[in-house]
Each structure stands twice: as structure tokens, then as C-alpha cells.
A and B are shown apart, each in its own frame.
Chain A
Amino acid sequence: MMQKNVLSDNVLNKINDIKKADILVGIPSFNNAKTIGHVVRAVQAGLTKYFPERKAVIVNSDGGSTDNTVETVQNAAIEDFDSIFVQHAIKPVFKITTPYHGIPGKGSAFRTIFDIARMLSARACIVVDSDLRSITPEWVELLIKPVLRGSFDFVSPLYLRHKYDGTITNSIIYPLTRALYGKQVRQPIGGDFGFSGDLAEFYLSKDVWDTDVARYGIDIWMTTTAIANNFRVCQSFLGAKIHDAKDPGADLSAMLFQVVGATFDLMEQYSDKWKSIVKSEAVPTFGFKYAVGLEPVSVNIKRMIERFRLGAKELKTIWDKFLPEDVIEYLNIAAKLPENDFVFSNELWVGIIYSFALAAHTRAINKEHLLKALTPLYIGKTASFVKETAESTPEQVEEKIEELSRLFEDKKNILRENW
């Protein structure tokens, strides 16, 4: 699925001038003028510092920004290399800025990046978000080196995050992906990835660019496609991930619909693959692990439990259509528990996620309704998790997530037998 005609003559001329590249760094953007300058400078510094002898190209794939994002990218440059103990690169770092075409979304932006990577025969590529505040030159090294020197095809990020950050990843996406495809990739929807030129070409060959993958499901699609098609996968420790505050009113149910929906869609595509996998295995991990201070996260448990109770009362008629009776009974009990005793067990949660996956497979109800009806349950599970781990250290929290993940694996037969 090549898209030869959509790149402008200017961009095509530039690609013809560059001819070939060793490394390609893709940065998708949409109105990120505030942060993208820092990202581009960090990437330039990383390329200059760690890969001075390699021919590198930075590609900004923009979705029609109106806030000078493109100009910021073009003007971003490191003025004082000495201050970061870096000598000028032996080979210059090229920059290409291009609007992407197709359905608006991160996936379409990535498609353009993959396409340019193919045209430049890039050996190693990375993609990083344009709203990152914590990106350092080392990220470039950590995401590229496993591909260039370790012959890995896909490098997933490993971040240090607050124990209450990334709760959809921790309670659904990571345990489910790990149980399904047998690889312990801790941040499957991290968003900052490294990958080989071969894998970029493989991504490009897939006929998904008119689907939800083009809009929002690209992260889990990239990870799952790499794992399910037996590309060599590893992860690199990048430190803390701090990015520009997203819209605070961002709808949780929309997030669940997009991310969990994309994961369920991939289950359809790779059902033959995941059915045969019984256990998961660790993937090679690179980078030097260290602790950093993380911003405190405030949580209103009372309100979360109230939201769960409201869902248990009002959405029962919808849940009845696909949740097993024992799960419904348990939910009724949980909804009546006082705040201090409120608990949402891992067994219950695994049963719920697998039932939702099966309901999506059998199309018990409209997919959007189905996934949005998961919201109160997810809030209940998160409230319980926050209560359980209030006094826990990051290591203890990680152990809890490990326990949940093992349970997802142990109960995978529910999926296999009812699919």
C-alpha cells in the first residue's frame, strides 16, 4: 500500500537529493509548537552524539498545524554543541517536514514516515511524540542501537511512571497483550518506538490505512504486528516520560473505546496465533535503570467508587447481555460494599475483560456501546488498585501488576474455549 503520489514535489526532490539514509527519526505532530522544538533538538543532539558517522534524517509528519509547528521544526537547531559535549556531526542531519494525507490521525502520520523510510532505504527508524518534555539525546541511542547493533526489529519503550499513571496499560493492555502473544512488553502503547527498515516496509505493506489504525490504534498495532509476525522484539529503559498536559477533559470512555477496541480488533486478526500461545517470556531489556522523583498524583477514591456504583445500578441491563451470572452477582456485592471495604478482585477483573473480548468477537452489542460500558468497571478496578497500593513502593506495585498478568495467562482458556 504505497502512497507515492501524495508527497509534494519539494519533499520528493529532497528525498532524491538525500538518496539513502542510515537512520530516520519520525515525529508526528499537530499543533505542538510549544514542545516540538525541544524534541527536535534532543533528537539532533542524540544523532550527533551517538551516531555522528551515520546519515540521518528527521521527518516531521504534520496534520495541518496552525500554530507554527512546522516553522518551529525547521528553525530548531542546537546552537552550542560544546555545552552538551558534542562535536559537530561528520554527516549532517537532514530535515524533512511534510503534511500527511489520508484519515486525520497519528497512524496516517506514521504511514508517511514509513513511506519516506522505505524511499530512503533507512536501516533503523524511531518515532517519538512531539509533546515530550522529558526526551533526552539518550532516547535516540536507546531506541536505535538495538536495531543497528543488536539486530532487533522492534524496540519498545520502558518508562518510569508514577504508580497511578498508565492505569489502562497496567490493568488491561499490558496483561492482555502479554497473555495473548507471549511477550512481556511492558509498554505496548508507549508511543516512542524504534524499528528496523524491514519492519517499516512490512508495516507499509499492510492494508490498514483506511481503518481505525490510521486514527488512533497505531501504537498497539505496531507492537502487536511486530510480535505476532515473529520480528525480534526488545525494550529500552528511557527513564521518566513527561509530556505536555493533554486536554484535562479528555473522555476516559473514548480512550477505552479506542485503545481496548484496537486491541480487540487485533485479537480477531491474530486469533490463530494467540490461541497456540500458553506462557509468556521476558524480552531483552536495554538501558540503565534508575529512580527519579515523579510528580504526585491525586486520586479521589470516593468519587471513583460512586461512579462504579452508578454504573452497577444503571448499566446492569447492558452487562447482563454478555457478562456471566457469577460476575454480575459479584458486581452487585461489590457495589454494596462500604468505601473502606471496597475491593475489586483480580479474578473478577480478568473474567470481565475476557467476557468483553468475547462479546466484541460475537458482536453481542454495538462495539462502541460495549467498550464504553466498560468505563464504570474500569473505574471500580482502578479505585480498588489505588486503595490496595496506597502504601506500596514502585517495586511492590510492579509485583501487583505481575500477579494480575499471571492471572490473565492462567485464565486464558476462557478465551480459547469460547472464541
Chain B
Amino acid sequence: MNIINKIIVEPVRKSLENILVFLPNILTSFLLFIVGIIVSFLAKVILERFFKAIGLDRFSSSSGFDELLIKGGIKDSLSVLLAKFTGGLIFLIFTLLSMKGLEIVIVEKLIERFLFYLPDLIVACLLLLLGWLLGNFFGRAALIASVNAGIRFSRLIGVFVKYLILIVAVTMALEHVGIGKETIEIAFAVLFSGIVFAVSLAFGLGGKDIAKKYLENKIGGEQKQDQDDIRHL
């Protein structure tokens, strides 16, 4: 009987005591988490209406900021975007508060470190966002320009430009948050050199005939064999 007490009953009782002591913290945290969801949702809805009411979208449209969003493939208006961001930030703060409410030393330390890290993380996220916007924009611009110039591997050029910008943005973001700083720099240099070498090779092999024809035309006098004389305007 004593053995059963020692092995089963006593640990269970202690656990229950611990749980009872811990229960208010859990409940408080849970409550904070739920309140966070509600407040962030309400804040999002109210702010969206507020931003729309004060004509933020009109300002965004007239200032050309909308263009930037569209260029990056974001269809939300500035009002919606800001409301979503603020709502998300409120939700994040409440989540952190609720976790802190658990009063677990490791969690508290993690949150402390996270908060210390947060500004860098936000900057890194902004860098990624900017990279994504610019990557999409310039990738598409390169694709259209290449097609209009009659280049057969236009899609490749578009994809290359897009991912080059994204890689640069990711590298900068990772460097900013201090993840594998040197490794990333070396990896980027290797990757970038590789891409440039591959593209040079592709251009060299694929375009040798074009280059030959171009040089022949330039040196031997312009031959307007396949030129159009159409005046479009």
C-alpha cells in the first residue's frame, strides 16, 4: 500500500497541486489570448473603416503608393493593409503577454530575447517584402521587355531577374538578423557567380550566331533586310 502511495498517489497529488497552483496562470494566459484575438479583430475592422473614412486610399492612389502595391502583386488597398498589419501586431503583443503570464522562466527568457530581436526581425521582414515587391515588378518588366525585343528565352530572363532580386533581399534579411553571416556571404557570392557564369555561357552559346550577324552588319554596313519601315504613329 505504501509503495502504491509513493509511486502513484503521491506524484499525482503533487502534480494536481502544481496544476492547481498553475491553473490561474493558464486561465489568465488563455483569457489574454482570446482577448487578443477579439481586440485584434475589432481593431482591424475599426481601423479599416477609419482609414477609409479619412480618405487614406485616395491619398494612396494619388501619391502612387497603390501603384507600388500593384506592382508587387498586392491587391489590398492601403487601408486594408494597414488595418491588417495593426491587427496582426496587436495579436502578437497579446500572444506574448499571454505567454509571459504563464510565468515559466524559459518562456520568459525566450520572450525577452524575442523582444530584443524584434526590431531586427521587423527590418528583415520589410527587406523581404521589398525584395518580393521589386522582384515581381522587375521580373515582369524584364519578361515583357525581352518579349518585345524578340528574345526567345524571355521567360528565363524574367525568372532570373525576379529571383536575383529575391536572393539579394533574402541575403540582406538574413544578414540583418545575424544568421550565419559569413556563410551567407560566401554562399551568395558562390551562387551569384554561378548564375552570372551560367547566363554568360547561355548567352555566348545561344547568341553566337546573332552576335556574328550583328557584327557583320555593323562592320560590313547595315543591311536592312528584315527591318520594317512602318511608321506606327
Contact = CB atoms under 8 A, between A and B. Distances in A.
B176 interface: no
Given A252-B232, A363-B66, A382-B230, A307 B150 contact: yes
Given A298-B227, A366-B137, A166 B66 contact: no
B229 interface: yes
10 contacts: A165-B231, A168-B232, A252-B148, A297-B228, A299-B229, A299-B230, A306-B150, A314-B155, A315-B147, A368-B141
Contact of A167 (B140, B148, B230): B230
A165 B233 CA distance: 7
A366 B70 contact: yes
A199 B146 CA distance: 43
Contacts of A310: 147, 150, 152, 154
A232 interface: no
A354 to B, nearest CB: 20
Interface string A288-308: 000000001111100110110
Interface string B215-233: 0000000001011111111
Contacts of B147: 310-311, 314-315, 375-376
Contact of A166 (B143, B145, B233): B233
Interface in B15-38: none
Contacts of A164: 229-230
Nearest to A386: B230
Contacts of A363: 66, 70
B149 to A, nearest CB: 9
A372 interface: yes
Interface string B132-161: 000001001101111110101011000000
Contacts of B144: 253, 315, 318, 369, 372-373, 375
A296 B148 CA distance: 25
Contact of B229 (A189, A251, A298, A369): A298
A70 B230 CA distance: 31
Interface of A: 164-169, 189, 246, 248, 251-253, 255-256, 259, 296-300, 303-304, 306-307, 310-311, 314-315, 318, 363, 365-369, 372-373, 375-376, 382
Contacts of A367: 67
Given A167-B230, A168-B233, A318-B140, A366 B148 contact: no
A297 B229 contact: yes
Given A303-B226, A369-B144, 17 more contacts: A164-B229, A166-B233, A167-B230, A246-B231, A252-B148, A252-B232, A255-B232, A255-B233, A256-B232, A310-B147, A310-B154, A314-B147, A314-B155, A315-B147, A369-B71, A375-B144, A376-B148
Given A314-B147, A372-B145, A365 B70 contact: yes
A318 B152 CA distance: 17
Given A315-B143, A366-B70, A372 B148 contact: yes
A165 B231 CA distance: 5
Interface of B: 66-67, 70-71, 137, 140-141, 143-148, 150, 152, 154-155, 224, 226-233
B207 to A, nearest CB: 16
A300 B228 contact: yes
A304 B154 contact: no
Nearest to B156: A314
A373 B146 CA distance: 11
B140 A166 contact: no
A297 B140 contact: no
A321 B233 CA distance: 28
Given A300-B226, A363-B66, A366-B137, A166 B231 contact: yes
Given A306-B150, A366-B71, A366-B137, A314 B143 contact: yes
A369 B154 contact: no
User: 3 shortest A-B CB distances, which residue pairs?
Assistant: A297-B229, A253-B148, A168-B232
A347 B71 CA distance: 30
B81 to A, nearest CB: 15
Contacts of A306: 150
A166 B229 contact: no
A164 B232 CA distance: 8
Contacts of B152: 310
A63 B233 CA distance: 22
A189 B141 contact: no
B67 A366 contact: yes
A164 B137 CA distance: 35
A300 B227 contact: yes
A376 B228 CA distance: 15
B230 A369 contact: no
B73 to A, nearest CB: 9
A299 B147 CA distance: 20
A318 B154 CA distance: 13
Contacts of B230: 164-165, 167, 297, 299, 382
A173 to B, nearest CB: 9
Most buried by B among A189, A251, A298, A367: A298
Contacts of A376: 147-148
Contacts of A314: 143, 146-147, 154-155
A383 B146 CA distance: 20
Nearest to A296: B229
A372 B228 CA distance: 19
Contacts of B227: 248, 298, 300
Nearest to A312: B147
A15 to B, nearest CB: 33
